[in-house]
């Protein structure tokens, strides 16, 4: 693919590639002119350009020498769907989760000052990320730091779904044009040349700000210490370049407010930006996605919770900018007074649910596994200590396709099972999920239910044989792989017991111990991180009860971060597919 230089060329490359590979479409299409303007002002290989979340960085990749590899976007061994310093020196930092860019920018700006370096720092943050508290921690510190840095606020009124909360309503402050800011800079420079001019300028500035505050009210960003420009048309490349160049020239924290249209340049994405935020491969001409599974765990969860809400008025649903992704759209339509989308604020979602539960309601918090990590402290402090009845519905648990290291749901087993009072369950099919949801209404204490992206698996709970030589243990929908491995072993003359767990905490080792009395060889296969894995916990518990097997084979994702790829590719790479499991068991028995 040749080098791309115009907004039209960039949009065509993005639409064609996302149509073939899937990915983040609407957010990237809305940021094309903005990215072009930023690249005309900043040198991405010397200056530090930080993309919040990074799902709007496709144009940046195309402009920084990766056009030839762009066809492998989000593919195994190809380009990440987010920024990654391992991929290019033009990527200032890894991205994938929201609201951290301002803190990162300040850290890099402060390092520049301490090291005596000469580079500029700019971060691009969406208004959706401003629903996350970390953004305000960064804003407050950066505004008072005096460091020269530029925050570009890309305001498209969306995160994934439409933005919620008061912040979405305060971004419409008055426009001040580029000539005004340039004239202001000229007056400041002129006064500095006059004896006492600096004092005079500061007095005039204080008077102007006081008058503006009295007449118009304050601006939250100005109150935090930022020089503010905008809002600016985010699709006027020339005007954008002028404002960003001026902001870069200032020696104070500066915020440039840019207004863009999510999905711009592709009619289906403009009409439905939420639907085209993150998409599976689709027909570019029609906008119609490729056929997918008839059902999914997310859809089943949403339908089951909606049914429970009809029966029990205590049932509430809480999510963090993931109404569609977690299957809660119908719940939100039918029970809007009991549906709470808190924006990109996972910690708040969990603590808010704790407040609901303390007053007798039954909140169900639906979050992706990778985002629940951000609320770890809140789960401990605001739910578990008081043993509050909050159900954490952990979507996208286990390996996930395409999004890579920042989105793999492989850590929730390790951190949830270490929390006192917590119960953790892993259904393999929709019936088990529905049963767990219903049972959560009649139990006390926190419960986490983890399930993958995708469809259910038809795997039995147990399959025992008299002459088994190995005991295979697994859980959740992933257990389809070790169960297939069992069938391969049978063909090779190796008999095995198979035990699928639903409850991961508490762990019941009774049936496993009985099987090990025959086999003395424990195999635990799971798509979770090694540290804190169920395999480790089983080995420890069996040892405590005097039932330690002679041989143990723990198969998991290891102590590593997992790149992008299809789930099948990742399982094969990690040795967690059926063929690899059977091969490793066979070698261990030799």
Q: Which residues are catalytic?
A: 262, 346, 374
Q: Which two tokens stand for residue 171?
A: 């971004």
To the nearest 5 percent, what fractions of the chain are helix, strand and coil? 45, 15, 40
Q: Are 96 and 84 in contact (CB under 8 A)?
A: no
The CA-based dihedral angle spanning residues 282, 284, 288, 294, taken in that order and rounded to the nearest 10 degrees: -10
Contacting residues for 532 by C-beta, under 8 A, at least 6 apart: 413, 414, 415, 417, 418
* DSSP state letter for 49: E
Whole-angstrom Cα distance, residue 500 to residue 483? Answer: 9
Whole-angstrom Cα distance, residue 366 to residue 394? Answer: 6
Q: Are strands 503-505 and 423-425 parallel, antiparallel or unpaired?
A: antiparallel
Place of tokens 């970390």: 134
User: Please, is 9 exposed, middle or buried when counting C-beta atoms within 10 Å of its C-beta (0-12, 13-18, 19+)?
Assistant: middle
What are the start-end ranges of the E strands in 1-107? Answer: 23-24, 48-51
* DSSP state letter for 375: G
Place of tokens 């730091």: 145
Whole-angstrom Cα distance, residue 570 to residue 563? Answer: 8
Whole-angstrom Cα distance, residue 108 to residue 93? Answer: 10
User: Please, is 72 exposed, middle or buried when counting C-beta atoms within 10 Å of its C-beta (0-12, 13-18, 19+)?
Assistant: middle
Buried b / exposed e across 420-450, counting CB within 10 Å, b at 16+? eebbbbbbbbbebbbebbeebeeeebbbbbb
Q: Are 188 and 148 in contact (CB under 8 A)?
A: no
Q: Is 477 helix (H, G, I), strand (E, B) or coil?
A: helix
Whole-angstrom Cα distance, residue 105 to residue 371? Answer: 22
Q: Are 522 and 553 in contact (CB under 8 A)?
A: yes
Strand order in the sheet with 362-368: 339-341, 315-319, 362-368, 391-395, 447-450, 423-425, 503-505
Whole-angstrom Cα distance, residue 161 to residue 180? Answer: 35
Q: Are 446 and 422 in contact (CB under 8 A)?
A: yes
Q: Which two tokens stand for residue 526?
A: 């799971």
User: Please, is 453 exposed, middle or buried when counting C-beta atoms within 10 Å of its C-beta (0-12, 13-18, 19+)?
Assistant: buried
Three-state secondary structure string covering 422-453: CEEECCCCHHHHHHHHHHHHHCCCCEEEECCC
């Amino acid at each position: 693919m040749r080098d791309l230089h115009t907004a039209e060329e960039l949009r065509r490359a993005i639409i064609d590639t996302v149509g073939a590979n899937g990915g983040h479409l609407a957010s990237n299409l809305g940021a094309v002119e903005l990215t072009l303007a930023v690249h005309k002002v900043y040198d991405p290989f010397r200056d530090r350009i930080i993309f919040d979340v990074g799902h709007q960085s496709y144009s940046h990749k195309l402009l920084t020498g990766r056009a030839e590899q762009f066809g492998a976007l989000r593919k195994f061994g190809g380009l990440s769907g987010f920024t990654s310093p391992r991929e290019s020196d033009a990527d200032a930092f890894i991205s994938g989760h929201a609201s951290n860019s301002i803190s990162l920018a300040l850290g890099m700006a402060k390092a520049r000052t301490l090291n005596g370096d000469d580079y500029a720092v700019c971060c691009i943050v969406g208004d959706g990320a401003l629903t996350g508290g970390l953004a305000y921690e960064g804003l407050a510190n950066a505004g008072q730091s005096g460091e020269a840095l530029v925050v570009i606020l890309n305001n498209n009124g969306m995160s994934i779904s439409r933005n919620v909360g008061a912040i979405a309503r305060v971004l419409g402050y008055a426009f001040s044009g580029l000539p005004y800011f340039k004239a202001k800079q000229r007056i400041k420079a002129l006064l500095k040349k006059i004896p006492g001019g600096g004092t005079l300028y500061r007095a005039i500035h204080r008077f102007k700000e006081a008058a503006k505050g009295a007449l118009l009210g304050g601006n939250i960003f100005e109150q935090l210490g930022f020089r503010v420009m905008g809002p600016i048309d985010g699709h006027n490349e020339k005007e954008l370049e002028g404002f960003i160049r001026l902001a870069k020239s200032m020696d104070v924290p500066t915020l440039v407010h840019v207004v863009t249209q999510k999905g711009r340049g592709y009619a289906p994405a403009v009409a439905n930006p939420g639907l085209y935020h993150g998409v599976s491969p689709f027909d570019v001409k029609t906008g119609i996605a490729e056929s997918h599974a008839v059902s999914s765990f997310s859809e089943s969860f949403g339908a089951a919770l909606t049914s429970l809400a009809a029966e029990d008025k205590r049932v509430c649903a809480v999510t963090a900018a993931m109404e569609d992704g977690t299957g809660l759209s119908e719940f939100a339509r039918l029970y809007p007074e009991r549906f709470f989308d808190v924006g990109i604020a996972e910690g708040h979602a969990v603590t808010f649910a704790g407040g609901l539960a303390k007053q007798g309601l039954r909140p169900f918090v639906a979050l992706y596994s990778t985002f629940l990590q951000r609320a770890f402290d809140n789960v401990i402090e605001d739910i578990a200590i008081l043993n509050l009845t909050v159900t954490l519905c952990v979507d996208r648990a286990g390996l996930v396709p395409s999004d890579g290291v920042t989105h793999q749901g492989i850590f929730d087993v390790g951190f949830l099972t270490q929390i006192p009072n917590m119960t953790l369950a892993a259904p393999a099919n929709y019936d088990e999920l529905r049963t767990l949801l219903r049972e959560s209404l009649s139990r006390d204490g926190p419960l986490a239910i983890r399930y993958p992206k995708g469809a259910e698996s038809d795997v039995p709970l147990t399959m025992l044989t008299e002459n088994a030589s190995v005991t295979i243990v697994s859980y959740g929908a992933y257990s389809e792989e070790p169960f297939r491995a069992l069938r391969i072993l049978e063909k090779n003359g190796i008999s095995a017991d198979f035990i699928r767990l639903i409850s991961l905490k508490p762990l019941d080792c009774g049936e496993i111990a009985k099987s090990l009395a025959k086999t003395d060889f424990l195999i635990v296969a799971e798509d979770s991180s090694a540290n804190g894995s169920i395999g480790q916990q089983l080995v420890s518990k069996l040892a405590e009860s005097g039932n330690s097997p002679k041989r143990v084979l723990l198969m998991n994702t290891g102590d590593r971060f997992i790149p992008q790829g299809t789930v099948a590719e990742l399982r094969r790479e990690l040795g967690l597919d059926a063929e690899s499991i059977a091969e490793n068991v066979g070698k261990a028995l030799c």
